[in-house]
A and B are shown apart, each in its own frame.
Chain A
Amino acid sequence: ETGVTQSPTHLIKTRGQQVTLRCSSQSGHNTVSWYQQALGQGPQFIFQYYREEENGRGNFPPRFSGLQFPNYSSELNVNALELDDSALYLCASSATGGASAYEQYFGPGTRLTVT
Chain B
Amino acid sequence: SQQGEEDPQALSIQEGENATMNCSYKTSINNLQWYRQNSGRGLVHLILIRSNEREKHSGRLRVTLDTSKKSSSLLITASRAADTASYFCATESYNQGGKLIFGQGTELSVKP
Report the tally of A-B residue pairs with Cβ distances under 8 A. Answer: 84
Q: Is the CB of B97 within 8 A of A106?
A: no
List the A side residues contacting B102 at CB < 8 Å.
35, 42-44
- A108-B41 contact given A43-B88, A99-B95, A101-B50, CB 8 Å threshold: yes
- Do B98 and A106 have beta carbons less than 8 Å apart? no
- Are the CB atoms of B43 and A33 closer together than 8 Å? no
Chain B contributes a number of interface residues (CB within 8 A of A) equal to 30
Per-position binary interface string of chain A over residues 84-104, scored 1 when its CB falls under 8 Å from any chain B CB and 0 otherwise: 000010101010111111111
Chain B interface (Cβ within 8 Å of chain A)?
Answer: 1-2, 4, 30-31, 33, 35, 40-45, 48, 50, 88, 90, 92, 94-105
- Min Cβ gap B61→A in Å is 15
A-chain residues with CB within 8 Å of residue B41 when the two chains form the complex = 108-109
The reply to whether B105 and A104 contact each other, CB–CB distance below 8 Å, is: no
Whether B97 contacts A109 by the Cβ 8 Å rule is no
Whether A106 contacts B101 by the Cβ 8 Å rule is no
**9 pairs from A and B in contact (CB 8 Å cutoff):** A31-B97, A41-B105, A42-B102, A44-B102, A99-B95, A102-B98, A103-B45, A103-B48, A107-B42
How far is it, in angstroms, between the C-alpha of A87 and the C-alpha of B44 when the chains are bound? 18
Question: Considering the chains assembled together, what is the distance between the CA atoms of A4 and B103 in angstroms?
Answer: 23
Point out residues on A near B: beta carbons under 8 Å: 2, 4, 31, 33, 35, 37, 39, 41-45, 48, 56, 58-59, 88, 90, 92, 94, 96-109, 111
- Could you say which residues of chain B place their CB within 8 Å of the CB of A43? 43, 88, 90, 100, 102
- In the complex, what distance in Å separates the CA atom of A102 from the CA atom of B102? 16
Of listed B42, B94, B96, residue having the most chain A CB within 10 A: B42
Shortest A101–chain B CB gap in Å is: 4
With both beta carbons as reference points, the residue of chain B lying nearest to A98 in the complex is identified as B97
